[in-house]
Amino acid sequence: MSKHKVKGIDSAILHQAFIDSFKKLNPKILIKNPVIFVVEIGFFLTLLLTIHPAIFSEAETNLRVFNAIICFILFVTVLFANFAEAIAEGRGKAQADSLKKTRKNTVANLLKADGTTTQVDAGSLKKGDIVIVNTGELIPSDGVVIEGIASVDESAITGESAPVVKEAGGDFSSVTGGTRVVSDKIKVKISVSAGESFLDKMINLVEGAERKKTPNEIALNTVLVGLTLIFLVVIVTLFPMGLYVGVQLPLSTLIALLVCLIPTTIGGLLSAIGIAGMDRVNKFNVIAMSGKAVETCGDINTIILDKTGTITFGNRLASEFIPVEGVSKKDIIEYSVISSLKDLTPEGRSIVELGKKFECILDEKDYEKAEFLEFSAQTKTSGINLTDGRKVRKGSGSSIKKFVEEQNGTVPKDLDEIVDRVSRLGGTPLVLAVNNKVLGVIYLKDTVKPGLKERFDNIRKMGIKTIMCTGDNPLTAETIAREAGIDEFVAECTPEQKIEVIKREQAQGKLIAMTGDGTNDAPALAQADVGIAMNSGTTAAKEAANMVDLDSDPTKILEVVEIGKQLLITRGALTTFSIANDVAKYFAIIPAMFIVAIPQMEILNIMKLSSPVSAIVSALIFNAIIIPLLVPIALRGVSYKPMKIEIMLLKNLAIYGVGGILAPFVGIKLIDMIITPMLRALGM
């Protein structure tokens, strides 16, 4: 999805996660995860039964070894669940530690009322303070440039090595704490209080321990608690039912059944999935103000995008050579390329590249002695004077007409019609002339970024509509929308109209995402369900949005939506797998509990497990080890291809639903085959 790579799990993270797994055994911490907390209670009860087996019933006296085995497996189950969450948190904490180094011991040059400066600790700065940042110094906190212009290295935050220019006024005045000024000097007004900078928010976000649960996660947690309570009631009623048929069920067996039937797998992975989802967003250099914003991305119905810089490059590049009547296309292509060989502007380079597509490839060395004329605001032309006296010029229609008339030439009758046609399409007509003869028009247009059409097709397959809002005229907007594969466009769009578009879509019950960077985008960003502001944009835009893209890449919204989708899909897939697991565990444990008193229940022992004890222990072991085996999927996310939600649901039900039923049958049977000799050696 992106050039950014998700960092793997190194040995340091694993070591710390192992230590944290034991720390999380504290009931005060574990009670936040009710399902695993129930498993821990089961562990303490079986531990008590192992130490004092007769405390519950005299029958338990002969089950000390069995109770000890159950106790150990339950302990490992809790440990594995803690380990899954600790690994996810560990990746975030490693990134947070790296970010903390960025802001550590930063000194600020605070400007006092008398015009002098004094050095203070960056942490003591208040909103409204003014600081001076010189070449080579770190910007102490988020703020706005109020005087000066400078190149700022933002690689510590964004990972991009190329410095960006920041200057007072306009949409590129916002600066981020922890970035470094690499040239010149700027005066910055601090815009946040201590602990509220984007760097602080990012650190708090990536530290999993401080992550708040999202609404969907809370809802799923409630469902899991409900299922746990239901199975708890079932297990409690099984004891008197057993007595009725003449079977006194050991407490450890009932606990084993409860642990196997409650959704321990998803209970152990739920936090890890959420933390990992946030972690993936951070790896894309996006600061989310809340987990809810990331999760909402997974439910987005409509994406609203600006045209310039998002869908198109923003530079007008050569698209077509249009000769006037009586001129061959070959001539206009050749002279267009000649006039642009030494033109280093984006337009000039694009003319040379377009010429190559028509097999017009010229050697710049052949024109070394020619006189190149750069574009002049006075003449509105650029060009080249060749050594044989030919003068090649390109520029606006009026300026080239004047040039030709000065050479005693005539203007072709169809020139104005071509210029008007290109202008109506929203393009820039660059007229080309050689001496006193007009050859035609170079059609410059804002070019759609490569690969966007395919990405919008993928977005459409997910059931998401795209709307382009642009200030261009309807004809230009329609052309760009058609080329990019946009579903809908709004031409000559004002900031007020953007809000109207968002409200219109929201009135239909849809969730909206949009990007923006200017002050005029702030109201729309605030109105949208997910607003992504560019880090290079204004403070107003960043404060209105609930996400900030540190790379200032407007197309990042497409990737963030995909991450949100992946987060929800991963949670749904593993929940399906976990619940499906319970079906197989039922066939392992229930027959084992009653087969002595009710021989007919042998028919349910479809796995042909060797003994009741082996069946219970095998099911418990599988229940424990499946959690760490699924950790890589929880961290990486379920891979998926954009498709309609109905197809995606059926696909995941087929893979994780059916897989969740089949995997325990295979796994429990294999474990049974391995542990049976060991249990027999113990006299069980």
- Residue 114 annotated as part of some ligand binding site: no
Q: How many residues does the chain have?
A: 684
Q: How far apart are CA 286 and CA 560, in angstroms?
A: 8
Could you tell me the CA-to-CA distances from 376 to 184, 382, 398, 432, 602 in Å, in that order? 28, 7, 14, 16, 94
Long-range contacts of 479-484 (CB under 8 A, 24+ apart): 479/425, 479/426, 479/445, 480/307, 480/311, 480/312, 480/426, 480/446, 480/448, 483/448, 483/453, 484/311, 484/312, 484/448, 484/452, 484/453, 484/456
State the Rg of the chain over Cα.
Answer: 34
Output the DSSP codes for 138-176: BP-SSEEEEEEEEEEE-HHHH---S-EEEESSTTS-EE-
CB-based contact 60:53 (threshold 8 Å): yes
- Residue 375 annotated as part of some ligand binding site: yes
Q: Count the Cβ atoms, other than its own, within 10 Å of residue 623.
A: 30
Q: How far apart are CA 68 and CA 180, in angstroms?
A: 59
Q: What are phi and psi of 472, to 5 degrees?
A: -70, 165
Closest CA to 270 of 197, 214, 345, 313: 214
Q: Whole-angstrom distance between the N-terminal and C-terminal Cα of the chain?
A: 53
Element at 312 (helix H, strand E): strand 312-323
Q: How far apart are CA 31 and CA 228, in angstroms?
A: 14
- Residue 521 annotated as part of some ligand binding site: yes
Tell the residue number behind the tokens 């296309």, with chain if given: 329
- Residue 142 annotated as part of some ligand binding site: no
Listed in sequence order, the DSSP H helices in 245-328 are: 251-261, 264-283, 291-297
Antiparallel, parallel or unpaired: β 117-121 and 130-133: unpaired
Question: Quick one: tokens of 381?
Answer: 């032309």
Q: How far apart are CA 619 and CA 603, in angstroms?
A: 18
- Residue 347 annotated as part of some ligand binding site: yes
Element at 223 (helix H, strand E): helix 215-244
Say which amino acid occupies 73: I
Q: How far apart are CA 183 and CA 152, in angstroms?
A: 7
In the set 20, 279, 306, 582, the catalytic residue is 306
Residues 547-584 as b/e (b if ≥16 CB within 10 A, e otherwise) read bbbbbbbbbbbbbbbbbbbbbbbbbbbbbbbbbbbbeb
- Residue 279 annotated as part of some ligand binding site: no
Residues 486-523 as b/e (b if ≥16 CB within 10 A, e otherwise) read beebbbebeeeebbebbeebbeeebbbbbbbbbbbbbb
Q: How buried is residue 224: exposed, middle or buried, by Cβ count under 10 Å (0-12/13-18/19+)?
A: buried
Output the DSSP codes for 315-334: EEEEEEEEEPTT--HHHHHH
Q: Count the Cβ atoms, other than its own, within 10 Å of residue 335.
A: 26
- Residue 379 annotated as part of some ligand binding site: yes
200 is catalytic: no
Three-state secondary structure readout of 504-551 = HHHHCCCCEEEEECCHHHHHHHHHCCEEEEECCCCHHHHHHCCEEECC
- Residue 380 annotated as part of some ligand binding site: yes
Say which amino acid occupies 142: D
- Residue 284 annotated as part of some ligand binding site: no
Annotated catalytic residues are 306
Detail the residues annotated as belonging to a binding site for ATP.
343, 347, 375-382, 394
Detail the residues annotated as belonging to a binding site for Mg(2+).
517, 521
Detail the residues annotated as belonging to a binding site.
343, 347, 375-382, 394, 517, 521
